[in-house]
Amino acid sequence: MIRFENVTKQYGKDIPAVEDISFNVAKGEFVSLVGHSGAGKSTLLKLLIVEDRPSSGEVFLDDVNVNKVSPAQLPKIRRKVGAIFQDFRLLPDRNAWENIAFALEVSGASSKDINSIVSQVLKLVGLEDKAKKFPKQLSGGEKQRVAIARALVHNPDVIVADEPTGNLDPVTSWDIIRLLARINELGGTSIILATHDREIVNALERRVITLDHGRLIRDEIKGRYVL
């Protein structure tokens, strides 16, 4: 479903942020992406959400070569991938419901669909009673749940999570990881989790891809956090 073929991304004349990366992710997989700060995790995820293009090599999403997608096709491709981040990235002047609805409004969904989908994803993340709360009235864990709900509105094939627990305490971090694991199991949504939380990665006992200085140095089915 996701295929990286010899992907290199170089910013300016610097040494490449990621270099000659190849891997596949199948539907329904849960993959942790680990590596020290600066190893290239976020760069890899940006290529996946088509926020950046590779300098060389190919990224395929469902057999679509994202390098060759026209600007007009881009929104359609991006909807296949939901993204969440360490800093949540919610709109401060919209409440939880509106933050989630916004992702549907920009894609032209009808208000009937918006109502039904937003209710559904809010329920899935367990936040029905916080729908009217603004980001500043929510805890970190709740904000991340809103972000997860928003990432789900287009029923994506994959959710990419860039250090989603980086601003959360250990207990809340586990709530978020369990929620991602449940979404993975329920809907067959693939998850790609960039993290440097050793405990989480080892407890998951899932596939682990390790980056080091932009290189993929390890890819193990039941991997451990080895750095």
Ligand X SMILES: Nc1ncnc2c1ncn2[C@@H]1O[C@H](COP(=O)(O)OP(=O)(O)O)[C@@H](O)[C@H]1O
184 in contact with Mg ion (CB under 5 A): no
**32 part of the interface to Mg ion, by CB under 5 A:** no
Quote the least distance from Cβ 44 to Mg ion, whole Å.
9
Instruction: Kindly tell me which of 46 and 78 has the beta carbon lying closer to ligand X.
Output: 46
Minimum CB separation of residue 15 from ligand X in Å reads 8
- Comparing CB distances to ligand X, the nearer of 39 and 48 is 39
Our finding on whether 42 is near Mg ion (CB under 5 A) is yes
Q: Compute the least distance from the CB of residue 162 to Mg ion, in Å.
A: 6
Asked if 6 contacts 20 with a C-beta cutoff of 8 angstroms, the reply is: yes
Query: Closer to ligand X at the Cβ: 16 or 141?
Result: 16
CB of 14 or CB of 129, closer to ligand X: 14
Pairing of strands 18-25, 2-9: antiparallel
Contacts of 93 (CB under 8 A, 6+ apart): 134
Nearest CB to Mg ion, comparing residues 42 and 173: 42
Least distance in Å: CB of 227 to Mg ion? Answer: 14
Interface with ligand X (CB under 6 A)? 11, 14, 17, 35, 37-43
Residue with the CB atom nearest Mg ion in the bound state: 42
Contacts with Mg ion by CB under 5 A lie at: 41-42
